Chain A
C-alpha cells in the first residue's frame, strides 16, 4: 500500500541515485510524482550549473603558473629545512647533551604559555639573549664604590628625670637664736622690720597701684601640735 510520507522520505536517495524503482512508486500517487518532479528539476538545475560553467582557459594558465610558483617556493623551503636538519644531525653528538638538557624545560615553558614555538627557535632566542649579555658585560663601566650603608640601630639613651621632693620643715618657735654664719663672719645684721622701714627710692614704686581691699591672712599657730 502506498504511503506518501514513506515515499517522500526516500525521494532524495531516489533522485540522487536515479533509482529505476522510483517509477513504480510514483505511478501510485500523482502528488508524489509532482513532488518528485519538482525535486528532480532542482537537482538538474544545480547539476547543469556544474556542467556548463567553468573558468576560461586563460584563467587556468594563470592558475597553474601561480600554483607552480607556490609549489617551487614550498619546495625550496622544504629543502632548506631538510638541509638545516641534516646539519643539526651532524652537530648532535657534540651538542646532544645541551639540546637534551634544554628540551624538557623549553617544552614545559612552551606548554605553560601555550606558545607554539619550535624548539630550535627557542634555543636560538635563548642563545641570542645569552650572547647579548655576554657581549654587553665587559662594556659596562666599572662599578662605583659602594655608597655607605645606613644601618639604623636603636640606642637607649638615659634621660634624667627630675623628681620634686616636698618636705615640710617645722621650726621651733622659741628657739634661741644662734649666731649665724654671717654674724660669725663679722657682717652687720639688719632685721626685716628695720629694712622695711627704711625709706625706699621713689623710682622703685613707680607703676605701683594700691588695692582697694585689704586682705588679711591669719596664719594659725606655728608649732606642730597646734590645731
Chain B
C-alpha cells in the first residue's frame, strides 16, 4: 500500500535538497499552475515557460518557506508575482498568438474512445478558442483578478493582498472582466430576416 506523503513532509525533504521530493510536489500542483498560466498567457508556449519559471522560483525560495500557510497558498503567491513580473517585462508574445492545446476530457478513462472530431469536442474546441479570445480582450490585471476569483476561489481581500492593490480595485476589475466576457460570449439576439426592396424595384 502506497501512502502518499503530505505536502509538509515533501517540503521538508525538498528543503534538505531532495530534488525528488520537490518533483513530487511539482507533479501534484503543476496542472493547476499550468492551467492558470494558460488562461493568463493565451499562448501554450508562454504558459509552459511561465509555469516552469514559477517552479524554479519556488525551488529557489523554498528555504524561506516557514509553514505559516499551506504549500499551495505559498506557491500561488509566487505564481501571481511571476505573472505580474512577466506582465511588466512584456514577456508575452504579441504576434502570432496561437492556442495549441489538445482537448481531452478529464474523465475519459479509455483514450481509444476519444474522437477528436466528435461534435462535442469540436464544440469544446470552439468554446475554448472563444473564451481564450474573450479573456485576451481583458487587461492583464482584470484577467488575473478574474482568474484568481473565479478559478482559484480566492477572496477579494486575498487577491488584493497578493496583487498589492485595494479590495475595491479588485472588485471593480472582476466586475468589469465579467461584463466584458458576458458581452463577448453571450449569444447575440437573432435579428428577424427582412427583405429590403428599394422603391425603384417596387
Contact = CB atoms under 8 A, between A and B. Distances in A.
Interface of A: 12, 15-16, 38-39, 41-43, 45-56, 59-60, 63-64, 66-68, 70-72, 74-75, 78
Contacts of B39: 50
Given A45-B127, A49-B131, A67-B55, A54 B104 contact: yes
B106 A51 contact: yes
Contact of B22 (A16, A54, A63, A71): A71
B186 A16 contact: no
Q: Report the 3 A-B pairs with minimum CB-CB distance, sorted nearest first.
A: A42-B182, A12-B175, A49-B131
B150 A43 contact: yes
A46 B17 CA distance: 39
A53 B23 contact: no
Contacts of A12: 171, 174-175, 178
Given A51-B106, A60-B31, A71 B59 contact: yes
Interface of B: 17, 19, 22-23, 26-27, 30-31, 34-35, 39, 48, 52, 55-56, 59-60, 101-106, 124, 127-128, 131, 135, 149-151, 171, 174-175, 178, 181-182, 185-186
A134 to B, nearest CB: 39
A63 B181 CA distance: 31
> Which label, helix, strand, loop or mixed, suits the secondary structure of the B interface?
helix
B186 A38 contact: yes
B105 A68 contact: no
> Which label, helix, strand, loop or mixed, suits the secondary structure of the A interface?
helix
A67 B52 contact: yes
Contacts of B48: 63
A46 B186 CA distance: 12
A215 to B, nearest CB: 108
Contacts of A46: 131, 135, 150, 181, 185
B52 to A, nearest CB: 5
Nearest to B149: A16
Given A38-B186, A74-B56, 15 more contacts: A12-B175, A15-B178, A16-B150, A42-B185, A45-B131, A45-B185, A46-B181, A46-B185, A48-B127, A50-B35, A52-B103, A55-B34, A60-B31, A64-B23, A71-B59
Contacts of A55: 34, 101-102, 104
Contacts of B101: 53, 55
Nearest to B103: A53
B34 A67 contact: no
